[in-house]
Structure 1
């Protein structure tokens, strides 16, 4: 996914009210940007960090800038981390259509945001071509890293995430295929695990869903100020 314009660099002043961030731009001006992330963003909100913002010319927007990435360093040099949790669905969709997720290749139809389960919407619904049954694909954004090279999810308690795992299991029970894709928006990740200490209930729901037949995939992204691209499958440490 290429950005329509290269991202604008700045220095983070603070993140506050969950969805807002104050940033100082290169020319010294201060702006408020939207922060499209509902999680804690653990380890990714330090004042003084270098960040990258996208811009919108829409007159309907209250805030022209959107926080997209932050530079983080866990002792192995700085790496870009994508914090915009609205990007992964489009990134995974693009990767499926481009054939970069072979586990999800071969389907004829792809639809996004389709109602299913109990008052939920599946991120991607695949059907036709590969097999008779539908394939329900849920996507989660991953950016937490507490130990160098190991991406983790979630970064805060997520009952909604556990609900999605239960609903994927129900699709398997109905004879469909169900896949959870953890998309790591950081190129310094070499493996993936669950942050069970942060949300034990989600970790338990993960194991239950995996045992019921829900397939678990993790892919990593390459990031730059001009593009984010799904590029590599990662091992999931918690699959038993």
Structure 2
């Protein structure tokens, strides 16, 4: 599987107005604190950091995430919590790459 497909799918979904109905500016690979998030989205009313993860593990018709323990993932979640404490919106988008 192409590891960049989840980010591309999320970007298209956001551009189509599904997460933010208002006009937004989208910046990929935006640094905040000690992390670089996949997307930063802002409008006149909102500002948000978004981390996108592809879900590739399936067992007995149930998808699972994460497919492996990850310290980096934990760091990103803690940074997203910090973003919220600083007044940003924060999202973790899970893109399921199978039926």
Q: What's the TM-score, normalizing by structure 1?
A: 0.39
Deviation of 1:169 (Å): 0.3
| SS state at 1:168 partner | helix
Which of residues 50, 65, 73 is equivalent to 1:137? Answer: 50
The number of equivalent residue pairs is 99
CA distance in 1, matches of 2:33, 2:21: 24
RMSD, aligned α-carbons: 1.3
The answer on 1:170 being equivalent to 2:82 is yes
CA distance in 1, matches of 2:23, 2:92: 17
Structure 1 residue runs of 4+, over 6 Å off?
A: none
Pick 1 or 2: higher relative contact order, CA cutoff 8 A, min separation 6: 2
CA distance in 2, matches of 1:160, 1:92: 20
CA distance in 2, matches of 1:158, 1:135: 23
CA distance in 2, matches of 1:142, 1:186: 8
The answer on 1:91 being equivalent to 2:6 is no
Q: Which residue of 2 aligns with 1:109?
A: 25
Q: Which runs of 5+ in 1 are unaligned?
A: 1-82, 188-240
Q: Is contact 1:142-1:154 (8 Å) kept?
A: yes
Q: Which residue of 2 aligns with 1:227?
A: none
Specify which structure has the higher proportion of helix: 2
Deviation of 1:176 (Å): 0.8
Q: Which residue of 1 aligns with 2:38?
A: 123
The answer on 1:154 being equivalent to 2:66 is yes
CA distance in 2, matches of 1:178, 1:172: 6
CA distance in 1, matches of 2:75, 2:42: 23
CA distance in 2, matches of 1:174, 1:117: 11
Which structure: larger Rg? 1
Residue 107 to residue 117, structure 1, CA distance change in 2 (3 Å): farther
